[in-house]
Amino acid sequence: MAETKTTVTAASAKANSSHQPKKSNNTFAMLAVPVCIVIGVLFYMFVLGNPNNFQGGVINANSHPVEEGMGKWFGTVYMGGIIVPILISVLLICITFVIERFLYISRAKGKFSGAELVRKVQYHLANKNVDAALAECDKQKGSVGNVLKAGLKKYKEMITNTELDTDQKISAIKQEIEETTSLELPMMEKNLVFLSTIASVATLLGLFGTVLGMIKSFSAMSASGAPDSGKLAGGISEALINTALGISTSAVAIIMYNYFTTNIDSITYAIDESGFTLTQSFAANHK
């Protein structure tokens, strides 16, 4: 009965430790998205749409950006139309989650590489010094260190266990590693869905803005009499601005998504290697 109670308590502690960061990250996502949208719209209205960015300080269909300085670029982007604030918001969301994932995965990688930690643990286990191996995990302070530490604690517990045979002990160590890994990996992959979605959506939004701009251009060309050159140029400019914003946002999302997944794969490989190291060491030293 006491053993069952201890198991339940341990499981509850693990559940609490896993649910808490998830709740925190969900809260972050729920706040970050609307805040980025508000900032994007305000930036479009009051920074890009500042009258000082346009000749004569007047903003209308025939307005032209000033000819020099940042106002020229701000005014030009503002003329991209209604899709521009949406694309700016998407870009801000992308940058926000890039920074958030970069900070989290940097912590998950630890003070030094997982491969180096595995080598150090192998050395200490070969010398049957489990406490020194645990100390190395504390120094690493990453996901590999967390998984190895949990495995090593079970490893140390199994050394003194007289009720189970060797195969059962190895199975217990494997199970502990798998449970800890199942808590670590989802947290590294969390919020990457925003980047993968933005990689596709940003391009589509840019294309939508491009289509709207081209519609304006063809409308100017089909007008009775001579085409309105100003409206024609404005429509083409709007199309190109949206294309540029959509492609650049998508490029950032794709590059950073691939960067993060590569790092996660590297950490995952080190975790798998650490599990193999523990089980093989136990099998070799406690036949």
9 Cα distance to chain centroid = 32
Residue 100 lies in a domain: no
pLDDT digit string, tens, across residues 109-167: 999 988 899 999 999 988 889 999 999 999 999 999 999 999 999 999 998 888 888 89
Residue 243 lies in a domain: yes
Full-model pTM? 0.84
Report the number of secondary-structure helices (H) and strands (E) in the chain.
9, 0
Q: Are 205 and 44 in contact (CB under 8 A)?
A: no
Exposed e or buried b per residue across 157-195, where buried means at least 16 C-beta atoms within 10 angstroms of its C-beta: ebeeeeeeeeeebbebbbebbebbbebbbebbebbbebb
Residue 215 lies in a domain: yes
Rounded alpha-carbon distances, angstroms, from residue 13 to 10, 17, 188, 274: 5, 6, 20, 23
Residue 200 lies in a domain: yes
Structure tokens at 247: 């492609």
pLDDT of residue 203 exceeding 90 = yes
Residue 160 lies in a domain: yes
Residue 252 lies in a domain: yes
Bigger pLDDT: 72 vs 85: 85
What per-residue confidence (pLDDT) applies to 287?
Answer: 63
Split into its structural domains, the chain has a count of 1
What per-residue confidence (pLDDT) applies to 229?
Answer: 66
Which residues span the domain enclosing 230? 113-286
Average pLDDT of span 168-185: 92
In the chain, what is the straight-line distance between the N-terminal and C-terminal CA atoms, in Å?
Answer: 30
Residue 192 lies in a domain: yes
Residue 94 lies in a domain: no
Cα dihedral 238, 256, 90, 210, rounded to 10, equals: 20
